[in-house]
């Protein structure tokens, strides 16, 4: 019997990520970013922070996200972050991060657990006021929070005035994308 061939599938089920434009907004499925949770071990926070600084892994404060090269991150909880890097160079992001931290941190692969959607366009606060309780108009660039959209726990990151990143459970990618589309049609 021949070995099975594995074919990558985007969270929405296609062979390639989907992008749609509704009114002034573009909803883009992203599969080019690798994710890993990073949790410092108790009592090793000072050493782990020094290791992160030496490796160029940003450790933003609560409610914030930072981008860098190649790593970006957003805050999850005390001494916990979600690290991100380009998938093309960091497909196995844990293999890249583990040697940097060794026993100082617990690192868990998260790439296939989340569906990422970048929402771009003018007037994003008008769109997101229909979706969640985040006051996007008052949120600064680099703002990151956990929220609920269509009964789904999601992470929302304001990248700029005209760009928001949403991470939702991959198993509910269709529901989240549908909710985004409905809100865009209603707000547009």
The pLDDT of residue 2 is above 80: no
The CATH number that domain 34-111 falls under is 3.30.70.1520
Q: What is the 3-state secondary structure (H, E, C) of the chain?
A: CCCCCCCCCCCCCCCCCCEEEECCEEEEEECCEEEEEEEECCCCHHHHHHHHHHHCCCCCCCCEEECCCCCEEEEEECCEEEEEEEHHHHCCHHHHHHHHHHHHEEEEECHHHEEEEEEECCCHHHHHCCCCCCCCCCCCCCEEEEEEECCEEEEEEEEECCEEEEEEEHHHHHHHHHHHHHHHHHHC
The pLDDT of residue 1 is above 90: no
Domain ranges (residues) in the chain: 19-31+112-187, 34-111
Percent of the chain whose pLDDT exceeds 70? 99
Each residue of 23-62: pLDDT tens digit? 999 999 999 999 999 999 999 999 999 999 999 999 999 9
The pLDDT of residue 136 is above 80: yes
Average pLDDT on 58-78 reads 97
Each residue of 82-120: pLDDT tens digit? 999 999 999 999 999 999 999 999 999 999 999 999 999
What integer pLDDT is reported at residue 6 of this predicted model? 80
The CATH number that domain 19-31+112-187 falls under is 3.30.1360.120
What integer pLDDT is reported at residue 3 of this predicted model? 78
Each residue of 140-178: pLDDT tens digit? 999 999 999 999 999 999 999 999 999 999 999 999 999
What integer pLDDT is reported at residue 11 of this predicted model? 96
């Amino acid at each position: 019997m021949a070995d099975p061939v594995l074919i990558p599938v985007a969270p929405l089920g296609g062979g390639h990520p989907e992008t749609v434009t509704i009114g002034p907004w573009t909803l883009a499925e992203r599969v080019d970013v690798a994710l890993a949770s990073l949790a410092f071990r108790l009592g090793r926070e000072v050493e782990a922070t020094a290791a992160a600084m030496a490796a160029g892994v940003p450790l933003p404060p609560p409610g914030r996200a930072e981008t860098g090269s190649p790593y970006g991150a957003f805050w999850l909880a005390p001494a916990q972050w979600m690290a991100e890097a380009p998938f093309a160079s960091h497909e196995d992001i844990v293999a890249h991060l583990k040697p940097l931290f060794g026993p100082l941190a617990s690192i868990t692969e998260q790439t296939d657990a989340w569906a990422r959607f970048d929402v771009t366009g003018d007037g994003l606060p008008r769109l997101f006021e229909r979706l969640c309780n985040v006051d996007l108009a008052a949120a600064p660039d680099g703002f990151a929070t956990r929220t609920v959209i269509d009964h789904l726990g999601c992470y929302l990151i304001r990248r700029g005035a005209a760009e928001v990143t949403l991470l939702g459970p991959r198993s509910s990618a269709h529901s989240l994308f549908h909710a985004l589309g409905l809100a865009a049609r209603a707000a547009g």
